[in-house]
């Protein structure tokens, strides 16, 4: 990320931040082959409306065309595609019924569902946003056709991009149908190598977070592959089970590495190089070669070398260790599990009618209803641009509100000017298709900055609107965007809807509870117990902490962060991350014969962490100090003494509420 100088306030510096990402050339090619050609086909055949609708569907699918395996691509594009078609069906039905002022309460209801769904995870959040956008466009764009036909055209455009994703792909390593999953597991070993190389240095914590993110992506890819097999009633192949075993070896090696990283000592280069050999073996299909020599100078190093040996054994096998895996559930159970996996795991307070869901839903609903009302007052014939702009601005999980608003206005202004310039330079009826194709090619690259993404979307939407027959002056688009920005800024900073304690506190509380479950399991598990559940709880804790950190960083960059009334969220999350790291190191040491704390000592630490979560969960406790639990260090266990220190740190910062 390119960051502005520290003297600049975070809310003012955030709009200028760019993500440094590789150029996804395959996605660029897919984008160029989607909206532009579809719109051009509609214009060439004399049926622009189907071209507009299919182009719109492909554009929305292109927003979700991110790196990943084929199966994750199907999930991340497919669910929002269904939501987009549903939104078009609702919006077109409103238009057919003669949408007047009563469209405002209808959009309020759809907006509430869209916003409340944001708390369930990124896939459902994207689906909700696109359902709301197509509802607005379906109700406002004057295109001929039955509602069901319009919905099918939008779905067809989404499916066209999905088909291209299966055909137009980046070169993959050897592995056939499992090439994407192999690449995801290989990335885990690469991230582990980077974390070991950073041990003892200033970048150690950041490298550990990158390792956690790589583990989450690989876990998602393999889980979706398993769910697909269950839905199709297809048993797992030997290669699939072998890859599962190698990922399990990677998970065990990562756990041992966290204990090694906790010691905060620089490691020899040969230690960091060993995991990279496993990554190369996954990509090439060749043996990993020589690994670092074993050493038992510290408990962490001994555990790492043992896990390294186990991983080498897993890679030496050419057949899975067991011929038959565990009994698989039927397709109905697999479908239920898949639906849970699509939008995030179920957590307390994450439902549509939980505190965060209500706040998110009301914020989106009020903004959309207010935007639609103002638009109908200004120009009833072409009112949809203003609420459509608000749709992409108001979603609370897309970044700080002020930053989104500034970048949306700048991107829309640039897109309108470029489109107007193209209209002056190009002639004929085909040029909107060319502009839409250019916008589609730009869209995958534009994910690195919201303003650039807005330019791409503006070019495409203006092309659709122009081809559909609405050729208003470009100044109307700029005026509507300006009004939408003002509405979203005002509504988005209303005290109740903008309170970070409700929006961020829910995620931080969820992360603390996941941390407490992992810590309790580590301290209360019997010696020699199976480590599968422990590793699953650790991944769940890190995943929840990653979500909490993202929410806390967004809140810290808001224009009105209300820091005087809220805890220092980032400090709380950092302390919780260190507790999970310390608990992981403690688990490895306990496995190797370290002193095991008594049940009273374990319960004391777990109860303290639960008390912190309870204090943060209830927003009515603002101004009430967090309870002062018994945080005496645990004798003969340095890592648990560190846990007590981090708990004290959380109590100090959380108690400022």
Over 63-103, what HEC string results? HCCCCCCHHHHHHHHHHHHHHHHHHHHHHHHHHHCCCCCCH
pLDDT at res. 631: 60
What are the tokens at 514?
Answer: 């996941």
Per-residue pLDDT band for 326 (boundaries 50, 70, 90) equals very low
Per-residue pLDDT band for 605 (boundaries 50, 70, 90) equals confident
Task: Report d(CA 533, CA 46) in Å as an integer.
Answer: 60
The least confident of 28-37, 268-277, 362-371, 630-639 is 630-639
What are the tokens at 485?
Answer: 């920005």
pLDDT at res. 160: 93
Task: Report d(CA 392, CA 262) in Å as an integer.
Answer: 42
**Whole-angstrom distance between the N-terminal and C-terminal Cα of the chain?**
31
Q: What is the DSSP string of 571-624?
A: HHHHHHHHHHHHHHHHHHHHHTTPPPPPHHHHHHHHHHHHHHHHHHH-GGGTTP
Task: Report d(CA 239, CA 566) in Å as an integer.
Answer: 51
Task: Report d(CA 243, CA 176) in Å as an integer.
Answer: 13
Burial degree of 524 (CB within 10 A; 0-12, 13-18, 19+)? middle
Residue 503 has pLDDT above 60, yes or no: yes
Residue 337 has pLDDT above 80, yes or no: no
pLDDT at res. 502: 66
The least confident of 260-264, 502-506, 548-552 is 502-506
Single out the residue of 641, 569, 638 nearest to residue 605, CA to CA: 641
Task: Report d(CA 436, CA 39) in Å as an integer.
Answer: 8
The per-residue pLDDT for range 265-305, each reduced to its tens digit, is 888 888 888 899 999 989 888 888 888 777 777 777 888 88
Decide if 463 contacts 525 (C-beta within 8 A): no
More confident residue, 400 or 185: 185
Task: Report d(CA 531, CA 253) in Å as an integer.
Answer: 12
Task: Report d(CA 451, CA 407) in Å as an integer.
Answer: 4
Task: Report d(CA 439, CA 419) in Å as an integer.
Answer: 10
Mean per-residue pLDDT of the chain: 81
Task: Report d(CA 24, CA 207) in Å as an integer.
Answer: 23
Per-residue pLDDT band for 438 (boundaries 50, 70, 90) equals very high
């Amino acid at each position: 990320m390119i960051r502005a100088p520290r003297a600049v306030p975070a809310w003012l510096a955030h709009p200028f931040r760019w993500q440094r990402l590789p150029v996804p050339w395959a996605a660029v090619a897919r984008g160029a082959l989607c909206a532009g050609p579809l719109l051009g086909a509609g214009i060439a055949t004399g049926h622009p409306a189907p071209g507009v609708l299919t182009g719109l569907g492909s554009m929305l699918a292109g927003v979700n065309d991110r790196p990943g395996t084929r199966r994750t691509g199907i999930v991340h594009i497919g669910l929002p595609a269904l939501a987009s078609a549903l939104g078009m069906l609702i919006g077109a039905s409103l238009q057919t019924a003669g949408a007047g002022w009563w469209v405002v309460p209808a959009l309020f209801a759809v907006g509430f569902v869209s916003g409340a769904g944001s708390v369930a995870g990124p896939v459902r959040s994207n689906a909700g946003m696109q359902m709301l956008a197509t509802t607005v466009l379906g109700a406002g764009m004057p295109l001929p056709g039955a509602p069901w036909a319009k919905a099918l055209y939008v779905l067809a455009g989404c499916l066209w991009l999905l088909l291209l994703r299966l055909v137009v792909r980046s070169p993959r390593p050897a592995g056939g149908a499992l090439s994407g999953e192999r690449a995801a597991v290989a990335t885990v070993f690469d991230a582990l190598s980077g974390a070991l190389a950073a041990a003892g240095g200033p970048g150690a914590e950041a490298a550990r977070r990158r390792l956690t993110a790589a583990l989450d992506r690989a876990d998602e890819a393999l889980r979706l592959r398993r769910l697909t097999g269950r839905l199709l009633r297809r048993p797992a192949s030997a290669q699939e089970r072998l890859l599962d075993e190698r990922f399990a070896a990677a998970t065990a090696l990562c756990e041992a590495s966290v204990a090694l990283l906790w010691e905060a000592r620089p490691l020899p280069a040969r230690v960091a190089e060993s995991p990279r050999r496993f990554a190369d073996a996954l990509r090439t299909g060749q043996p990993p070669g020589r690994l670092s020599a074993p050493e038992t100078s510290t408990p962490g190093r001994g555990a790492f070398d043992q896990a390294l040996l186990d991983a080498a054994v897993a890679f030496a096998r050419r057949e899975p260790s067991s011929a038959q895996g565990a009994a698989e559930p039927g397709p109905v159970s697999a479908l239920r599990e898949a639906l849970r996996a699509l939008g995030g795991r179920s957590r307390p307070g994450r439902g549509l009618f939980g505190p965060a869901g209500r706040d998110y839903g009301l914020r989106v609903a009020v903004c959309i209803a207010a935007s639609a009302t103002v638009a109908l007052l200004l120009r009833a014939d072409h009112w949809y641009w203003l609420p459509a702009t608000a749709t992409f601005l108001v979603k609370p999980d897309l970044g700080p509100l002020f930053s989104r608003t500034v970048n949306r206005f700048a991107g829309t202004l640039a897109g309108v000017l470029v489109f107007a310039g193209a209209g002056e330079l190009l002639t004929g009826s085909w040029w909107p298709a060319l502009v839409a194709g250019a916008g589609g090619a730009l869209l995958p690259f534009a994910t690195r900055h919201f303003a650039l993404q807005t330019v791409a979307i503006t070019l495409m939407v203006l092309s659709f609107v122009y081809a559909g027959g609405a050729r208003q002056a470009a100044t109307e688009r700029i005026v509507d965007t300006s009004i939408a920005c003002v509405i979203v800024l005002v509504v988005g900073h209303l005290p109740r809807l903008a309170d970070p304690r409700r929006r961020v506190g829910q995620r931080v509380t969820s992360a603390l509870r996941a941390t407490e479950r992992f810590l309790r399991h580590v301290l209360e598990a019997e010696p020699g117990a199976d480590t599968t559940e422990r590793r699953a709880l650790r991944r769940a804790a890190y995943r929840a902490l990653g979500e909490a950190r993202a929410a806390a960083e967004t809140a810290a960059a808001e224009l009105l962060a209300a820091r005087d009334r809220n805890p220092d969220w980032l400090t709380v999350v950092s302390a919780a991350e260190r507790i999970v790291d310390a608990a992981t190191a403690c688990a490895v040491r306990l496995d190797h014969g370290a002193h095991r704390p008594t049940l009273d000592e374990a319960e004391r630490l777990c109860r303290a962490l639960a008390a912190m979560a309870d204090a943060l969960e209830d927003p009515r406790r603002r101004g009430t100090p967090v309870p002062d639990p018994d945080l005496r260090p645990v004798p003969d266990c340095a890592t648990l003494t560190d846990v007590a220190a981090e708990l004290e740190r959380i109590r100090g910062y959380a108690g400022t509420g």
